[in-house]
Amino acid sequence: MEVRIERLPELRVAGIRVLGPYAESGPKAWKLLTPWIARRQVTSASTMFLGLCHDDPEITPPERIRYDAMVTVPEDFEPDDYVIVRVIRAREYAVAVHKGPYATLPWSWSALYWEWLPVSGRTPLGAPRMEAYLNDPGATPEDELLTHLYLPLAPL
């Protein structure tokens, strides 16, 4: 697995939270958020589509796992009652590329945690992991889907 260290700037995001196992909560969250995105016309060429994974499914009860489907929004964005708005602080991330179905994302996360992290000399930060979805799953074959995995890192 090829991993690079990248510092992301502060990101202002809007979206929704769904509880449950990631395999269920992710698709459900995007199904709920996608019509809102179209209605509010919040996308541009620089919009990031992000999944924030708050919990470790190995230790968190399935019904308490938190997943946020989010899109980046400009500073002047006016939220409504449908979405939550938050700021993701600027920080360093270990970034890896996952190519393939979303169902196989856990394998790529495992490789990042159990293969790369122990030999990297870095420590994960207690902040949500992020997934940046780079292409449209409705128009892209599953085996060609690209997702950037962002593992927050503690400062050196």
- Three-state DSSP state, 29: helix
Domain CATH for 51: 3.20.80.10
Question: Cβ(68)–Cβ(88) under 8 Å?
Answer: no
| Number of domains comprising the chain | 1
Taking only the tens place, the pLDDT of each residue in 132-143 is 999 999 999 999
Report the percent of the chain where pLDDT is more than 70. 100
Which amino acid, residue 33? L
Cα separation, 65 vs 143, whole angstroms: 26
Provide φ and ψ at 111, rounded to 5°: -65, -40
> Which tens digit of pLDDT belongs to each residue from 78-89?
989 999 999 999
156, pLDDT greater than 90: no
Q: What is the pTM of this model?
A: 0.95
Structural domain harbouring 122? 3-152
- pLDDT tens sequence across 23-58: 999 999 999 999 999 999 999 999 999 999 999 999
> 150 pLDDT exceeds 90?
yes
H helix intervals, 12-125: 22-40, 105-111, 117-120
